Amino acid sequence: MNKYLRYYLLINWLFFILIVTGFPTFPYNGVMISWHDKLFHILLFGVLAYLILYSLALHKISNKTAILTAIFFSVLASAGVELMQSYIPGRTVSEYDFFAGLIGIIIFVIIYVKRRKKT
pLDDT at position 67, please? 97
Yes or no: say if 105 and 78 are a contact pair by the CB < 8 Å rule: yes
pLDDT classification of 30: cutoffs 50, 70, 90: low
Q: Is residue 91 part of a domain?
A: yes
**Count of residues for the chain?**
119
Looking at per-residue pLDDT, the higher value among 17 and 89 belongs to 17
Is 25 domain-assigned? no
Residue 74 · residue 52 · CB < 8 Å:
yes
Q: Which helix (H) or strand (E) holds 104?
A: helix 95-118
Q: What is the pLDDT of residue 14?
A: 96
* Domains: count for the chain: 1
Residue 100 to residue 78: CA distance in whole angstroms: 9
What percent of the chain has pLDDT above 70? Answer: 92
pLDDT-derived band at 37, boundaries 50, 70, 90: confident
Looking at per-residue pLDDT, the higher value among 119 and 113 belongs to 113
Q: How many CB atoms lie within 10 A of CB 95?
A: 8
Element (H, E) at 81: helix 63-85
- The answer to whether residue 92 is domain-embedded is yes
